[in-house]
Chain A
Amino acid sequence: MRQRVGWTAEESLPGRGEVLRLQGVPAQLDLPPRIGALLEAALAAYREIAEPRALIGGISREEFREVHRGEGRNAPETPLETVLAGAERLALFVATVGGAVTTRIHDLFGSNEPALAAMLDSVASAAADRLTVLLGALPPGPEGGAGANGARALAYSPGYCGWHVSGQRALFAFLDPGEIGVTLNPSCLMEPLKSVSGVLVAGPSGIHRFAPAYPFCRECRDQPCRARNAAFSTS
């Protein structure tokens, strides 16, 4: 069963701190007025044109193992294998903030507004990431809202945690998210650009903890995961 989910732009709006982090602006900085004004203008543009939506579908563990195997290019060992062992529910998802944002960013670059373009890019990136949090908080249902019985649902995505990005093909074949307007190009890039995909894994929060000591963790730039797993770090 698959479920289409939609949000207002306002609901998907990311926190200002997260946007500024993507812009490389330190959280503790007294925000100069010109940067503050840019941020507000970018948030306003996002509110006006974003169309956040997602497709989510429950999947059994066995089916997911097949999807995860993808084209056989994953790392020899990945944390998902262990995480899966304790999972109560799984749901595949594809979510997007829509294509109009990317078009606007492009137009802004073309009309000599690079600062606003880059700020809007960060707003849209952070918003796309936020959609996975919103999906994880959906009430449990037959379609795969994953957060049941106080369980914690976290997203894992192709391109992260040793799951090769070519795994996007198997995920798209299973979920078929054309109806929300997201397609995959031959390089496994999703269009619209500001889209995310993956599996939501719900279970006791402990299952999501693993020592970030896999070979691919060294190159991964995803800091929140490191923070979450810091207590388990062996380094």
Chain B
Amino acid sequence: MDILKEIAASLERGEDDRVAGLVRQALEERCAPLDILNRGLIAGMDVVGEQFRKREIFLPDVLIAARGMYAGLDLLKPLLAQEGVPSAGRIVLGSVRGDLHDIGKNLVAIMLKGAGFDVLDLGADVPAQRFVDAAQEHGATVIGLSALLTTTMPVMKEVVELVRARGLAGRVKVIVGGAPVSEAWAREIGADAHGYDAANAVERVRALVAAGA
């Protein structure tokens, strides 16, 4: 089997320990880092994501694969940076101010990285202004906001308003998610999208980026 297919297959089989070794081997065989990323790691994670959406595999399987993906990605990142290869899109992500809960946001970050996005994770308890500052500073086209309780959801509205106030609307899109957050809430505050779960967040971010965020 060609080495790139082998990388993808080991991610699909949950053989996370093998992935870094295979990526190293592919580099030694002079495969281009971008090919290893797209046809090896991202191709494998795409299959994993699809199987997860169809409920053929479960969250732990996805996260085991993600571990392998990261180990491989760590080897590729410096090389991709050297070659100036652009990512699928840059997104600033965090749990909003007052919200210390970050497991959901972490899962969204993992799935987005697995799909080839460059994710700047600001962590938890992030004030509205930091999201927008970070998006401007790092040229991100999407801001992702996560909240656990209804009491922290208003910060999402602050972010949307700040994006508008700084004249970034349309160029920087906002996606919201978290247990108490709904599509209706996203519409009410003027966010560009709502992600139901981590897999859905990837689809929605892809659509935002494709629509020219």
Q: A-side interface residues toward B, CB under 8 Å? A: 23-26, 29, 32, 34-35, 38, 105-106, 109, 112-115, 117-119, 121, 159, 165-166, 185-189, 191, 193, 219, 221
Contact = CB atoms under 8 A, between A and B. Distances in A.
B151 A166 contact: yes
A216 to B, nearest CB: 11
A116 to B, nearest CB: 8
Contacts of A221: 179
Interface stretch (B93-101, B137-145, B164-172): B93-101
A113 B106 CA distance: 12
A-B residue pairs, 7 tightest by C-beta: A187-B98, A115-B63, A114-B63, A187-B151, A25-B58, A35-B60, A115-B64
A23 B66 CA distance: 16
Interface in B65-112: 66-67, 70-71, 97-103, 106-107, 110
- Among A109, A119, A187, A191, the one with the most B-chain Cβ atoms within 10 Å of its Cβ is A187
A67 B190 CA distance: 35
B14 interface: yes
Nearest to A119: B60
A96 B60 CA distance: 25
Interface residues of B, number: 28
Interface of B: 14, 58-61, 63-64, 66-67, 70-71, 97-103, 106-107, 110, 148-152, 179, 182
A121 B61 CA distance: 16
B100 A114 contact: no
A118 B99 contact: no
Given A112-B71, A115-B67, 13 more contacts: A25-B59, A29-B58, A35-B60, A114-B63, A115-B64, A117-B106, A159-B150, A165-B150, A185-B98, A187-B152, A189-B99, A189-B101, A189-B148
